[in-house]
Structure 1
Amino acid sequence: MELRAREQNGILVVHVQQDRIDAASAIQFKDRMREVTQDNPACVVLDLSQVAFLDSSGLGAVVAVRKALGPDRVLELSGLTPSVQKVFRLTRMDTIFRIHPSLPDGLRDAD
């Protein structure tokens, strides 16, 4: 699973560089997220703008990452594509996560 992570303004921004998070990649996704968040950032923003497909395994992996961060750390989502947004809405996970339409100002790539 290819992720690109950078810290900016005290927030870890993680860009998923794959077009799918599904049963075949969910475990890799969780493992990579564990690696990139091991320095205990208080807030992690997961940019899903390149993810066109997320199944129940992928959703479970995102929820598992949120739980792994613990109660003192926050996982927010950004850039959900319409099909991914639909999964979050149908499962009502959109009420659990703070979801940004795109990366918030100050967190976008400077390049």
Structure 2
Amino acid sequence: MDLFAEALDGALVVRVGEQRIDAAIAIQFKDRMREIAAQPAPRVVLDLSAVQFVDSSGLGAIVSVMKFLAPARKLELSGLTPNVQKVFHLTRMDTVFTIHAAFPEQKLQDAV
């Protein structure tokens, strides 16, 4: 599970380095996100710009991370590809998450 984190603009930005978040890696994703989210930051932004596919297990894992952070911190999303955006829209999860078109592109300095 390739996840890379950096502090940027007052947020912990976690970039997903996988093309899919599906049943095969959902548990790994959720566990790894919980480890990374232990770092103090008022906001956590999940950059999904490399992700081309999310199934129901992947969506459930993302929601689980959101619940893990709440209520003290928010999970925000950025860089949704068209297929991933469609999943969030069809499930109405786009009304639950704050979704950014993109987060500032900067070189990762602190890979986790």
Deviations along 1:69-90, one digit per CA (max 9) or x if unpaired, are 0201011100000000000000
Q: CA RMSD in A?
A: 1.2
Q: CA deviation at 1:110?
A: 4.6
Asked if residue 17 in structure 1 is aligned to residue 17 in structure 2, the reply is: yes
Deviations along 1:35-75, one digit per CA (max 9) or x if unpaired, are 11102321001000000000000000000000000201011
Instruction: List structure 1 runs of 4+ shifted beyond 4 angstroms.
Output: none
- Tell me the amino acid that sits aligned with residue 92 of structure 1: R
Q: 1:4 to 1:110 in 2, by over 3 A?
A: closer
Counterpart of 2:4 in 1: which secondary structure?
Answer: strand
Q: Which runs of no fewer than 5 residues in structure 1 stay unpaired?
A: none
Percent of aligned positions that are identical: 61
| Alpha-carbon distance in 1 for matches of 2:107, 2:2 | 20
Counterpart of 2:80 in 1: which secondary structure?
Answer: coil
> Normalization by structure 1: what TM-score?
0.93
Number of positions where the alignment pairs a residue of Structure 1 with one of Structure 2:
108
Q: Which runs of no fewer than 5 residues in structure 2 stay unpaired?
A: none
Aligned residue in 1 for 2:94? 94
